């Protein structure tokens, strides 16, 4: 139901105000890459996930946490500061937010070439421009890891 028409007036206004406040990102870059079956895939989520014991996110956090591909579902926590989205799905099944098991299945079937050893998490409630320095740092790390397909997933 993430259709604006389904939200209350104040929720709708909140989401539309975000559009009004967006900076100008300039022209959209677009590159082609290798075929999907040869790509190395990583997930970058803005859901505020982290491994239990890592520093939880807090208001204004604009850095990222590393989620090793080997992290067990039971080790993941969510410290996103927003209370305005459902958490019961994540509590029931990590894959509804962070579909690493599904990605492994797709990779096992040859649908993608390989999966990155590391995935990453931001906390999406940070001011959008504040995320840029760490996003650029992360882009370099992903390149070094030979990742050529990144799934940017929201919550």
Query: What is the DSSP code string of 86-99?
Result: --HHHHH-GGGT--
Under the binding rule (CB under 8 A), the answer on residue 127 touching other proteins is no
Under the binding rule (CB under 8 A), the answer on residue 106 touching other proteins is yes
Distance in Å, CB of 87 to other proteins, minimum: 6
Under the binding rule (CB under 8 A), the answer on residue 87 touching other proteins is yes
Determine the Cα–Cα distance for residues 40 and 103; give it in Å rounded to an integer: 11
Under the binding rule (CB under 8 A), the answer on residue 153 touching other proteins is yes
Query: Residue 66, exposed/middle/buried by CB under 10 A (0-12, 13-18, 19+)?
Result: middle
CB 67 within 8 A of CB 120: yes
* 3-class state of residue 65 by DSSP: strand
Under the binding rule (CB under 8 A), the answer on residue 58 touching other proteins is yes
Distance in Å, CB of 67 to other proteins, minimum: 15
Determine the Cα–Cα distance for residues 80 and 58; give it in Å rounded to an integer: 7
Binding site for other proteins (CB under 8 A): 1-4, 6, 8-11, 14-16, 18-19, 22, 25, 28-33, 35-36, 39, 41, 52, 56, 58-59, 73-74, 76-79, 81-93, 95-97, 99, 101-103, 105-106, 111-112, 149, 151-155
């Amino acid at each position: 139901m993430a259709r604006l028409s389904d939200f209350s007036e104040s929720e709708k206004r909140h989401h539309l105000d975000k559009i009004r406040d967006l900076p100008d990102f300039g022209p959209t870059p677009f590159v082609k890459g290798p075929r999907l079956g040869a790509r190395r895939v990583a997930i970058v989520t803005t859901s505020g996930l982290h491994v239990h014991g890592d520093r939880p996110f807090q208001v204004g956090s604009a850095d990222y946490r590393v989620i090793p591909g080997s992290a067990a579902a039971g080790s993941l926590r969510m410290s996103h500061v927003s209370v305005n989205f459902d958490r019961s799905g994540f509590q029931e099944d990590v894959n509804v937010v962070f579909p690493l098991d599904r990605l492994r299945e797709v990779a096992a079937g040859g649908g993608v070439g390989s999966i990155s050893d590391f995935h990453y998490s931001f906390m999406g409630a940070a001011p959008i421009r504040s995320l840029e320095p760490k996003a650029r740092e992360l882009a370099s790390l992903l390149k070094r890891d030979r990742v050529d397909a990144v799934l940017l997933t929201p919550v």
